[in-house]
Structure 1
Amino acid sequence: MKQRLDIRPLRPVDIAHVTAWARAEGFAPGQGDVAIYRHTDRQGLWLGWLGEEPIGCIAGVRYNCAYGFIGLFLVRPAWRGQGYGLQLWRHAMHHLADVPCIGLEAATDRIADYAGWGFHAASPTSRWSLLSAGQPKPSARWRQGTGAALALVGADAVHDAAVVAYDARHAPSPRPHFLRDWLHHPAGTVRALIDGQGCCHGFGRIRPCLLPTSEGWRVGPLIADTPALAEGLLRGLLLEHPGQVLIDAPQVNAAAAQLLAGLGFDRVGQTLRMYRGPSPQLPLEEVFGLACLELG
């Protein structure tokens, strides 16, 4: 007889389990990511337990009353095909039942499953990879195409409100709680482009991540007014970060593909952004990298 799955909220002590599972699945979790997911919605991350053994997890994070996101959904290999994943899925969907729009990133082999739950395709996402030397060739192109003098600064030199306001125009929902944790986590580096009035024209973050067999870096988000500004940001983020670098970019932004290929990145994978409910209308031509596939 199949054991009953006990679904419990994620505790801080459980983060190591989830991070290890995500790494084994090739999710490449960033340092501190799972703790930030938990802090964004303390009721929105769960582990499934068989007795005292954790066997799977899911996130159903509610940004606000209008938008939620499902991610970090996995069952350990030995317990797949027994309905435990469906129980975790239903639990997350119940948590977000009153949210008008829910987003997720679907692996190719799961698209039909999610479509059966009312999710529809929005835009493909490409994963790009670069073996970086940590010293990209200098470029002044990022100053072209703008009449404003922009400063490339770190997170400690810019008001959070400017970045939060800029991000809110490019994400399905404002996410100040998540973003402040994301920008000020001690792991990694943040760069922003700020004009003389303190307004943001682009920002990005690079952080350490755990690849299946090594350590590397993930860039995200990477958002900018123009491709030239995005290039300046990305060059600044790659500086002094040698090793394998991953970035997840919306395919509909053709300029992102051109930029990444021009810097030596290779396309190594694809997922599909899907929504249940109305698709947010976003300026994806200014989004060159998502924050993370697990939270959008």
Structure 2
Amino acid sequence: MFEDSRATESETSGSPDTFRVRQVTSQSEVSLMLEWVAAEGWRPGVYDAESYYRQDPTGFHLAEVDGVPVGGVALVKYGENFAFGGNLIMKPAFRGKGYARRMARVVMEASDMSDRNIGLESMVDLQDAYSRVLGVQFAWKNTRFRGVGSNTFTGVKQDDNPAALVPVKEVDFEHLCVFDASVFGTPRPAFLKSWISQPGMVALAAVTTTPAGEDDEHRQETRIAGYGCIRLSVESYKDVNFSRRIGPIFAESAAVGSQLFAALVATVPPGVPYYIDVPETNESAMKLARESVLESVSQTARMFTKGDGGVKCSMVYGITTLELG
């Protein structure tokens, strides 16, 4: 537990408010933070809270004024050398008072992250502010695209399918973790196990087979060439209650990325919107989004305190989640 419990004079009443920052004590408090995020139109996954909490129960923090939760932020550890900050949110009535800045500073200073590379997602126009306050530097831009489910969607035409698609739970989980870490930049087995098991999640692995060796020409060796997920998300677009968010799509080639994307989009009911976040540095992924006639709806900036986090953007056709990497 850590706190900043100094009194702050209220701009509205002139009376002192007691402001403090504390760690969340339950998954339900993480869900509360995501409810605030959903109210801002950020479209979190319906069941994301459990996956986030499984990764690092100590990584979520609430700001309170006079004992009432008014804001929150996450700083979640991955492995020994990386952490990701996200879900920075302050309830509207408490904005413009410096609370968000104080909350972020308290969490950064108290979490002992000096030896870790820290990543976060910023609105493009807030890059300079995050750089000054948190010491992060720009790495690349991400574009969020929106599509709408249709019975006529066939995907981008290609000569053949380079891999077989199977439910991700049919592949060896340790092999999946190794593949995921090779793209994401650091292992995250606890998160991944919960992520692919979310209710309503469609998770597919792209696998290829090759002869295992000359001694046994009939034995085949299977390897993972990519995987992708699509999940239920909270929607505030028109009259739809639940949309879909795609992420991640990690693939060793544009052909595999396109194959996974088409298979995931095919699961979206007609008329239901879906979203995918694409790193602009991956030209093949951006081309896939454009050729699929998706609408660009927003841009964000990925930032780090050290380098680029080891992310292989050339293999990222859909980011896992802007909220936590």
TM-score (ref. length: structure 2): 0.85
Aligned pairs (5 A) from 1:168-179: 168-179=181-192
In structure 2, list runs of 5 or more residues that go unmatched.
1-8, 10-15, 210-220
Match of 2:295 in 1: 266
Return the alpha-carbon distance in structure 1 between the equivalents of residues 314 and 242 of structure 2. 30
Match of 1:133 in 2: 150
What's the CA shift string for 1:76-123, capped at 9, x where partnerless?
Answer: 110011121122201321215233310001102321111113211101
- 1:90 paired with 2:114, answer no
Return the alpha-carbon distance in structure 1 between the equivalents of residues 169 and 260 of structure 2. 16
Match of 1:124 in 2: 141
Return the alpha-carbon distance in structure 2 between the equivalents of residues 180 and 122 of structure 1. 28
Return the alpha-carbon distance in structure 2 between the equivalents of residues 194 and 152 of structure 1. 6
What's the CA shift string for 1:42-98, capped at 9, x where partnerless?
Answer: 110011122342110100001122100000001011001112112220132121523
Shift of 1:266: 1.2
In structure 1, list runs of 5 or more residues that go unmatched.
none
Letter in 1 for 2:126: R
CA contact (8 A) 2:17 2:65 kept: yes
- 1:34 paired with 2:49, answer yes
Shift of 1:136: 2.3
Task: Select the residue among 188, 200, 210 that pairs with 2:201.
Answer: 188
CA contact (8 A) 1:183 1:190 kept: yes
Return the alpha-carbon distance in structure 2 between the equivalents of residues 190 and 134 of structure 1. 20
TM-score (ref. length: structure 1): 0.92
What's the CA shift string for 1:124-174, capped at 9, x where partnerless?
Answer: 001000012155226773745x5xxx3200122111112211111111312
Aligned pairs (5 A) from 1:17-56: 17-56=32-71
Q: Report the 3-state secondary structure (helix = DSSP H, G, I; strand = E; otherwise coil) of the residue aligned with 2:311.
A: coil
Bigger CA radius of gyration: 2
Return the alpha-carbon distance in structure 1 between the equivalents of residues 104 and 281 of structure 2. 29
Match of 2:218 in 1: none
Residues 231-240 or 86-95, more deviating: 86-95
Return the alpha-carbon distance in structure 2 between the equivalents of residues 123 and 139 of structure 1. 26
Letter in 1 for 2:247: G
Match of 2:22 in 1: 8
Query: Using a 3 Å threshold, how does the CA distance of structure 1 residues 176 and 16 change in structure 2: closer, same or farther?
Result: closer
Query: RMSD of the TM alignment (CA)?
Result: 1.8
Shift of 1:25: 1.5
Return the alpha-carbon distance in structure 1 between the equivalents of residues 258 and 242 of structure 2. 24
Letter in 2 for 1:33: D
Query: Using a 3 Å threshold, how does the CA distance of structure 1 residues 5 and 134 change in structure 2: closer, same or farther?
Result: farther
What's the CA shift string for 1:196-231, capped at 9, x where partnerless?
Answer: 323210101000101234320000001111111111
Task: Select the residue among 265, 269, 279 that pairs with 1:238.
Answer: 265
Residues 87-96 or 186-195, more deviating: 87-96
Q: Report the 3-state secondary structure (helix = DSSP H, G, I; strand = E; otherwise coil) of the residue aligned with 2:17.
A: coil
Query: Using a 3 Å threshold, how does the CA distance of structure 1 residues 134 and 276 change in structure 2: closer, same or farther?
Result: farther
- 1:198 paired with 2:211, answer no
Query: Using a 3 Å threshold, how does the CA distance of structure 1 residues 38 and 211 change in structure 2: closer, same or farther?
Result: same
Q: Report the 3-state secondary structure (helix = DSSP H, G, I; strand = E; otherwise coil) of the residue aligned with 1:193.
A: strand
Return the alpha-carbon distance in structure 2 between the equivalents of residues 154 and 123 of structure 1. 31
* Matched positions, count: 292
Return the alpha-carbon distance in structure 1 between the equivalents of residues 131 and 248 of structure 2. 27
CA contact (8 A) 2:123 2:301 kept: yes
Match of 2:120 in 1: 104
Return the alpha-carbon distance in structure 2 between the equivalents of residues 110 and 139 of structure 1. 35
Letter in 1 for 2:66: G
Return the alpha-carbon distance in structure 2 between the equivalents of residues 155 and 92 of structure 1. 36
Q: Report the 3-state secondary structure (helix = DSSP H, G, I; strand = E; otherwise coil) of the residue aligned with 2:281.
A: coil
Query: Using a 3 Å threshold, how does the CA distance of structure 1 residues 134 and 47 change in structure 2: closer, same or farther?
Result: farther
Match of 2:233 in 1: 209
Letter in 2 for 1:129: R
